[in-house]
Structure 1
Amino acid sequence: MTLSDADRDLVVAELGRDPTPAEEILFENLWSEHCAYRSSRPLLSAFDSEGDQVVIGPGDDAAVVALDDDTYITLGIESHNHPSYVDPYDGAATGVGGIVRDTLSMGAYPIALADCLYFGDFDREHSRYLLDGVVEGIADYGNAIGVPTVTGSTSFHENYEGNPLVNVACVGLLSADRLVTAEAQEAGNKLVLVGSSTGRDGLGGASFASEDLAEDAETEDRPAVQVGDPYTEKLLIECNEALIDEDLVESARDLGAAGLGGASSELVAKGGFGAEIDLENVHQREPNMNAFEILLSESQERMCYEVTPENVERVRELAARFDLGSAVIGEVAEGNYVCTFDGEPVVDVPPEFLAEGAPMNDLDAVEPEVAERDLPAFDLEDAFEAVVADPNTASKRWVYRQYDHEVGLRTARRPGDDAALLDVPEADAKLAFTGGADPNWTTAAPYDGARAVAFENATNLAAKGASPLATVDCLNGGNPEKPDVYGGFKGIVDGLADMCRALSVPVVGGNVSLYNDSVSGPIPPTPTLAMVGKADGSSPGLSLSGEGDLFLVGFDGGALGGSTVLEHLGGSDAFPALPEDADAATAVETIRAVAADESTVAVHDVSHGGLAVALAEMVTDDVGADVSVSDAVSLFEETPGRVVVETTDEAALRDLAGDVPVVGLGTTTDDATLSLAVDGDEVAYGADDIADLRDVLARELD
């Protein structure tokens, strides 16, 4: 990738001269799609990002949300898609490292991770190779740094074959007095680089992430992929805590996309300052590095801190205590962003122009067509087995069993449920955490599918008794220069924005990843959400207890568009009709109230695979269910915002539900068998049979 002629003309006009080679490569990366959001920023104003609980919204390394007056959490998400195709292990591992450092730069301690992963068809050997490497990378890095991976999603779709997605989110915890931002505070303060030494790995990673993947990307683009060291990251986590403990940090930014050049220029630009940096002061691990290599290296496990002159020596002492390198590379200054090398200026540019001056793209968008109804004939047994054994709905235990999800002693509900729960005694509360998207939904209908993604994530939290608090998004799309691709991307932005607004869930930050396109075509528009909620009361699990009867709570969409069953049986259908905004908000609050009620003994979200999969997941080795529904659409539609509830008090349930529909499903049984009656057809499966159907990932990958 090179700076385009149009961009170069803008730079020349601003500087009044030709850019130096180092300046040109710096503008190329900071004005890339990955850093500047040139195609997406015009759309992002659709999101509402404010709320009484929002302390810091979009624009910093991570968002900050208040649990109470004294206890804050950070929430951030990022993508590492292209690197994870080229090198699945290091690409995924460094994605974890990057989002954790975003957390550190706000003064927070990381307490939980979520991984949302998307691959090509599971029956392809290459997809399984990528899955295996990505999961190993996340596990090795997260486990080594002691941050539990507690929730997420794993999806398979043929259009990810040439370009998988690896979206990773992190929650951090801090007290109000420890908050740090990425906004430089005062001219004369020193810029101190702490962490690993700088090498040549990851050069040009930002520009690499801003172009389609080539057929030879696995070999030709390998130098653009960073190599992580989780043990150094763990030392950096603890060093950062010590620095914050002693109030030594004025502002901070982690070194991610565009490396030192990106972190330092953005930090000073946000504060309205410039900088004077001597690139030769940067501690390096490779000889003879030139100016642009030092500026653009994306070597991992590095932080840039603004420090007052009197505190510099103490910062370096603490870095040495944790066996980390450190260097005073320059200072915050008035005027331009200036970098010298060999005693000569190699960069001398206005910092705000560098960080924020990229022009936005004005792109054409074409809306997708709506599918017509053409439903196949249903054989109940074949349809049930196909849906329950589908890799998208099957057990993901093979994935999350590789993660240490209890390190840190906060995990109150582990992976495998609708949402994870984390104990936060500092705020006398539990934090619910969920994440994911469904490419089938957004392929069928980008706008409505994205509304459904937001609705489902909020329902996951409510099903565990939590009120949604805030969300971040990772908006993944293909090449935005293609009108149909950009139309789908615009649809997912608007759909998320509208549903989050309806649910009063502020979108407090996020990430955009475009040009996820390859020789096999564009990915589906994929609006990953990572959403948190606050729970003060009880939180039922999803497994049946055998104590009560079963009911379906929520609004019926009555269609199969985007559903797993149509993937197997063929046919087409419009996307299910979602409730109006006010009804969606009422449904989420109703589900939360039902989940928190003492007569509720089990709750489970109905989504991927529909009611059939939800019931299969609720059956245990001791408790089964005898269920009857009116038709096959009712069993397999995937309309979100619905839950299966096991309750010991039907009257209390109906009273709590109010105007939200409640439909009787049947009873629990003591024979560990799921019996289904659908419009005259009946099937029955024991718990062992269901477990065999759902264990497809482990069966193929172990």
Structure 2
Amino acid sequence: MTLDTVDKAKDDSKDRGWLQDGPVGAHTFGQPYAELGLKTDEYERIVTILDRRPTSSELAMYSVMWSEHCSYKSSKVHLRQFGEKAPASDAMLVGIGENAGVVDVGQGYAVTFKVESHNHPSYVEPYQGAATGIGGIVRDILAMGARPVAVMDPLRFGAADHPDTRRVLPGVVSGIGGYGNCLGLPNIGGEVVFDPCYQGNPLVNALCVGVMKHEDIHLAKASGTGNLVILYGARTGGDGIGGVSVLASETFDADGPAKRPAVQVGDPFQEKLLIECTLEVFAEDLVTGIQDLGGAGLSCATSELASAGSGGMRVELDKVPLRDATLAPEEILMSESQERMCAIVEPGKVDRFLEICAKWDVIATVIGEVTDGDRLEIFWHGEKIVDVPPRTVAHEGPVYERPFARPEWQDALQADGAEHLPRPQGGDELRATLLKLTGSPNLADKSWITDQYDRYVLGNTVLAQPEDAGMIRVDEETNLGVAVSTDGNGRFCKLDPYTGAQLALAEAYRNVATTGARPLAVTDCLNFGSPEDPGVMWQFAEATRGLADACQILGTPVTGGNVSFYNQTGETAIHPTPVVGVLGVIDDVTRRTPIGFREEGQIILLLGDTREELSGSVWADVAHGHLGGRPPQVDLERERVLAEVLIAGSRDGMVDAAHDLADGGLAQALVEACLRGGNGARIVLPEELDPFVALFSESAGRAIVAVPRSEELRFTDMCKVRHLPVARIGVVDGETLEIQGQFTIGLDELKAANSAPLRDFFA
């Protein structure tokens, strides 16, 4: 289809429904641009950019690249804070804007990490949606020049006993395990959260970590006139068409989605070949730029490479290897078929590049070249079907300053605190409450899920679920390592999105520090409802502001991430759920600190202040089905001090076990430390606290540590010098958890209560 035959082509292609039929500004009902997710004003802007109507292929490209999922058009104005408020960091090597952020971890090593969402596809087709979420984030890491070394999976589902959760969760878990296990990547952490607000809209976020040397970093740009564009990997099929523009950028109807063709289909064995092939190509320095094909497929890869490069690009679309010969050019451009990469290669290196691809049985085809112009030109059997300025497709999409306003119900929600709720009285009721909470889905043992993942493949996993953070050894000779944790509490964010986002960062930061690693950098996946709702946009604006402010104080820059909007069914949005990932570095993984109480006789210390903070807590939810009040206070300077103490204690051999206090408070932290280490504990609660508050408050900035008796004085002196509250609350001992003066529970009874729920629901 040539540019000068658009009108004829429009008539010929009405059955396909790609071209706008009628004058610019016409009613959108039945208009192809509207069916592709474009608004009328966006279509009019495309016409202005091109000074003509777009061809059907151009319309396809703009529709996917200007989607909410790809262009961040509703979030850009808020995301800028991550750059404007970014703390100075000597570790930052590559920041926001590339496939993934990269940080320096020492000894010449760099680590890249990123978290992204695959929420809607995972509801429509749980197995493939989750599997291709893993595949996509792995390729993002690979495209930076790194070898992927680990994955994580922050997950959120509806109520555990809801029939649709039983449909979605097993498929999602199987997809994550099936794809990641076949790639030979350990799954070292994540979360599984249940809440009715995610009913019909689960959150399936995926994180990947990769390791490389500094000199191996690669960027997504097409430079060098005459360099060739090579598409390699799987053949292009009809799966995933409209995935980013329609499926990921729309609210589900109340009856749920019927968009199965928009879900990608993955092949982990093809991806494994692609990984090894790409790493060998990197090792021989054969590429000048590289981009994975994920959301928006070839539309994204060609436009972003050309936009970030020094010239233009010419592509012969009919040379693309296809699984389905009937695909139209628009469909080829929009397809999100998995396991594909696009590389820019100098002519003299092409033969060697193709040899390596053949060695790994990876299809590779030269589909174009870098030109000295400033246009992205795409041809179909010799006819030009695309002629656009690439930046207008990839980097100059719409920017919306959507209206936002504090919801009218927010004041009433915050006024309805948990203080008025009936509380357990006496030891027997406290005991029953602890058993009920530890046996609730959100606090229960998640091994039914994590046992389906290979956590130790490759042999470098140091810590994995259910530890506070996953830890991977980077260098086998020096034992250099990195730790990663993800956290996000939608209930706290519903009560106060600014504070809730900061609490998510604080918990992930604290989790990394409890292992002995020093937090370095942040990635985030911001999951929210419809940006067209002013109340949702207020939640997003507040959460983003809170996260940016907190990163500035903690000195942990945001390296990249993802925004996922339209997470709602009908008019019902999920809780605002910013998932925050923190990466830290540890010089010697043999000094890491696990959560379990491993040695009898060690002293248990409680670090930090406990206040009566129960609103939004697990206790309020499980015991009363209540959500209201204000979330716990967050003191970021205290979090920094606590982290310093935990890191120093690990490094200097003063701490044998450490566990942060979060969901379920001190009671749940003790349960997990006892069960993980196989030893009981005798606990004396602080006299100044009500026993119920001491056990179940969810005050932030706290941790418990187990220290040898010989190290107690040295450790407590270190806390006092830093003005960190520290209290001796017990000793590791026996086969029971004894809260002196209140109750005793055997470890067998604790384990039975803690391990039953997920197996009962899903086994």
- Report the CA distance shift for 1:657/1:575 in structure 2 as closer, same or farther (over 3 A): farther
CA distance in 2, matches of 1:3, 1:390: 44
State the one-letter code of the partner of 1:558.
Answer: E
Are 1:377 and 2:377 an aligned pair? no
Task: Give 2:440's match in structure 1, choosing from 390, 393, 403.
Answer: 390
Displacement of 1:92: 0.2
Task: Give 1:625's match in structure 2, choosing from 674, 681, 699.
Answer: 681
Task: Give 1:350's match in structure 2, choosing from 382, 389, 410.
Answer: 389
Displacement of 1:69: 5.4
Which one is further off, 361-370 or 445-454?
A: 361-370
- 1:16 equivalent in structure 2: 51
- 2:354 equivalent in structure 1: 316
CA distance in 1, matches of 2:482, 2:364: 36
Which one is further off, 423-432 or 165-174?
A: 423-432
Displacement of 1:548: 1.3
What's the CA shift string for 1:307-340, capped at 9, x where partnerless?
0111112111111111111111101122211111
Displacement of 1:448: 0.9
CA distance in 2, matches of 1:320, 1:640: 54
Q: Is the 8 A contact 2:499 2:634 kept in 1?
A: no
What's the CA shift string for 1:22-72, capped at 9, x where partnerless?
111211110110000011111012224451111100111111111125211
Displacement of 1:644: 0.8
Which structure is larger by alpha-carbon Rg, 1 or 2?
A: 2
Task: Give 1:657's match in structure 2, choosing from 702, 719, 735.
Answer: 719
Displacement of 1:506: 1.0
- 1:471 equivalent in structure 2: 522
CA distance in 2, matches of 1:490, 1:235: 42
Which one is further off, 55-64 or 530-539?
A: 530-539
What's the CA shift string for 1:347-405, capped at 9, x where partnerless?
11111111122221122222333234333222213321221111111111111111111
Task: Give 2:730's match in structure 1, choosing from 646, 663, 666.
Answer: 666
CA distance in 2, matches of 1:577, 1:88: 34
CA distance in 2, matches of 1:371, 1:240: 56
State the one-letter code of the partner of 2:679.
Answer: V
- 1:585 equivalent in structure 2: 640
Matches within 5 A, 1:205-604: 205-207=243-245, 208-215=247-254, 217-218=256-257, 220-333=258-371, 334-367=373-406, 368-369=410-411, 370-373=414-417, 374-379=419-424, 380-425=430-475, 428-519=479-570, 521-537=572-588, 538-544=591-597, 545-570=599-624, 574-604=629-659
- Report the CA distance shift for 1:272/1:512 in structure 2 as closer, same or farther (over 3 A): farther
Q: Is the 8 A contact 1:376 1:569 kept in 2?
A: no
Displacement of 1:557: 4.2
Secondary structure of 1:600's aligned partner: coil
Which one is further off, 55-64 or 266-275?
A: 266-275
What's the CA shift string for 1:470-495, capped at 9, x where partnerless?
11000110001111111111222122
Displacement of 1:579: 4.4
Q: Is the 8 A contact 1:547 1:601 kept in 2?
A: no
Q: Is the 8 A contact 1:558 1:576 kept in 2?
A: no
Displacement of 1:520: 6.8
CA distance in 1, matches of 2:252, 2:284: 45
What's the CA shift string for 1:97-131, capped at 9, x where partnerless?
00111111111100010100000011112112211
Which one is further off, 481-490 or 585-594?
A: 585-594
- 1:115 equivalent in structure 2: 153
Are 1:36 and 2:52 an aligned pair? no
- 2:759 equivalent in structure 1: 698
- Report the CA distance shift for 1:359/1:557 in structure 2 as closer, same or farther (over 3 A): farther
- 1:687 equivalent in structure 2: 747
- 1:63 equivalent in structure 2: 101
The TM-score, its normalising length taken from structure 1, stands at 0.97
Displacement of 1:217: 4.5
Q: Is the 8 A contact 2:375 2:389 kept in 1?
A: yes
Secondary structure of 2:273's aligned partner: helix
Which one is further off, 359-368 or 448-457?
A: 359-368
**Aligned length in residues:** 697
Matches within 5 A, 1:4-153: 4-47=39-82, 48-49=85-86, 51-68=89-106, 70-153=108-191
Secondary structure of 2:106's aligned partner: coil
Displacement of 1:684: 1.6
CA distance in 2, matches of 1:325, 1:216: 41
The TM-score, its normalising length taken from structure 2, stands at 0.89
CA distance in 2, matches of 1:134, 1:519: 23
Secondary structure of 1:180's aligned partner: coil
Q: Is the 8 A contact 1:337 1:347 kept in 2?
A: yes
Secondary structure of 1:357's aligned partner: coil
CA distance in 1, matches of 2:136, 2:122: 14
Please list every run of 5 or more consecutive structure 1 residues that lacks an aligned counterpart in the other structure.
none
Task: Give 1:611's match in structure 2, choosing from 663, 666, 671.
Answer: 666
Secondary structure of 2:420's aligned partner: coil
Secondary structure of 1:634's aligned partner: helix
Q: Is the 8 A contact 1:608 1:638 kept in 2?
A: yes
Secondary structure of 1:67's aligned partner: strand
CA distance in 2, matches of 1:573, 1:21: 50
Secondary structure of 2:656's aligned partner: strand
Q: Is the 8 A contact 2:495 2:631 kept in 1?
A: no
CA distance in 1, matches of 2:194, 2:627: 19
- 2:7 equivalent in structure 1: none
Displacement of 1:622: 4.9
Which one is further off, 127-136 or 426-435?
A: 426-435
Displacement of 1:651: 1.7
Displacement of 1:428: 4.2
CA distance in 2, matches of 1:258, 1:698: 38
Displacement of 1:432: 0.9
- Report the CA distance shift for 1:556/1:625 in structure 2 as closer, same or farther (over 3 A): same
Displacement of 1:663: 2.1
- 2:27 equivalent in structure 1: none
What's the CA shift string for 1:578-599, capped at 9, x where partnerless?
3433333222222222333423
Please list every run of 5 or more consecutive structure 2 residues that lacks an aligned counterpart in the other structure.
1-35, 425-429
State the one-letter code of the partner of 2:457.
Answer: V
State the one-letter code of the partner of 2:592.
Answer: S
CA distance in 1, matches of 2:576, 2:611: 22
What's the CA shift string for 1:435-472, capped at 9, x where partnerless?
13122221222111111110000110110111101110
Q: Is the 8 A contact 2:503 2:634 kept in 1?
A: no
